Amino acid sequence: MNAPRDQYEPGDPRTRYPDVEPEPQTQAEPGLQSDMRPVPDLGESTYRGTGRLAGRKALITGADSGIGGAVAIAFAREGADIALAYLPEEQPDADHVIEQIRAAGRTAVPIPGDLRDRAHAHTLVEQAVDGLGGIDALVSGAGKQRWQPEVTDLSDEQFEATFDVNVFALFRLVKAALPHLQPGSTITTTASMEAYQPAPDRLDYAASKGAVNNLSKGLAQALVERGIRVNVVAPGPTWTVLQPSGGVDPESLPEFGSSESPMGRAAQPAELAPAYVFLASHESSYVAGETLNVNGGMVTP
């Protein structure tokens, strides 16, 4: 079936979005969503805002595509202005999301750069503050994932790079943002189902997402005294550019998500965005240190 008219349309969750069953395909990392077949659904035609984030000023990493792109579109349609962080190579995808944000009548501040650059976190936050007039919502959506069939194929360099993007860059970004975050601000990070059920061919990715989950819960306790809420979204299998750009075995793509999730299919990024909207909205004012699992029914501890 086709995608729903909007996120509020009722229906069978198993068939709400089609099972993508993508053909084997590969791209050089970081890859472009626009070159994927099929192209992931970011909610461009379906996400309907209701003013839940009116006046918010959000900095979103990985905002060019996938979950980060879907979150950026949803936030804009809910009334937020957006600073988008992404790699320069991802500009074509970022242009599409920027167009969606501006079509919603909101401000889009593009800030390309590499999160592995230690100085970039400070520059990124300062440019976001300058472009938006402040920030009060931080969403960490950028991530690195590479599959390796054997443990002996997993190099020190890959392990370090994965943690640098997924964990250390997050830590640096939070530290840089804190002086600008006032009571009522939110930080939302992105873990993964792999934090609980690590895939043997993605050991570094799974370990890094476990670290993100733990770091976020510690930050939640440290920052709640300032009136800043920190929460986590842990996606299950979601069709994004991470998969064809080396994130999983290309030959496994036709079954991606269908054999893992009880829903029998992978998620589309559009299905993850409402979780981030909820955690950044004031309606979740008593939610802090929570991991919201959006994984199609996969059991977590």
| Residues designated as active site | 205
Backbone angles phi, psi at 174, to 5 degrees: -60, -45
Q: For residue 267, give the 3-state DSSP assignment.
A: strand
User: Angle CA(126)–CA(128)–CA(131) in degrees, nearest 5?
Assistant: 105
> What would the two tokens of residue 93 be?
């995808």
Backbone angles phi, psi at 288, to 5 degrees: -150, 140
Write the CB contacts of 234 (distance below 8 Å, at least 6 apart in sequence): 190, 191, 192, 193, 195, 196, 209, 213, 291, 292, 293, 294, 295, 300
> What would the two tokens of residue 300 be?
């977590």
Per DSSP, the residues of 225-243 read GGT-EEEEEEE-SB-STTI
Write the CB contacts of 198 (distance below 8 Å, at least 6 apart in sequence): 206, 207, 210
> What would the two tokens of residue 51 be?
């003013």
Angstrom distance (rounded) from CA 34 to CA 40: 9
Cβ(172)–Cβ(121) below 8 Å: yes
Q: Beta strands of the chain (E only): which ranges?
A: 57-61, 81-86, 108-112, 137-140, 186-190, 229-235, 291-294
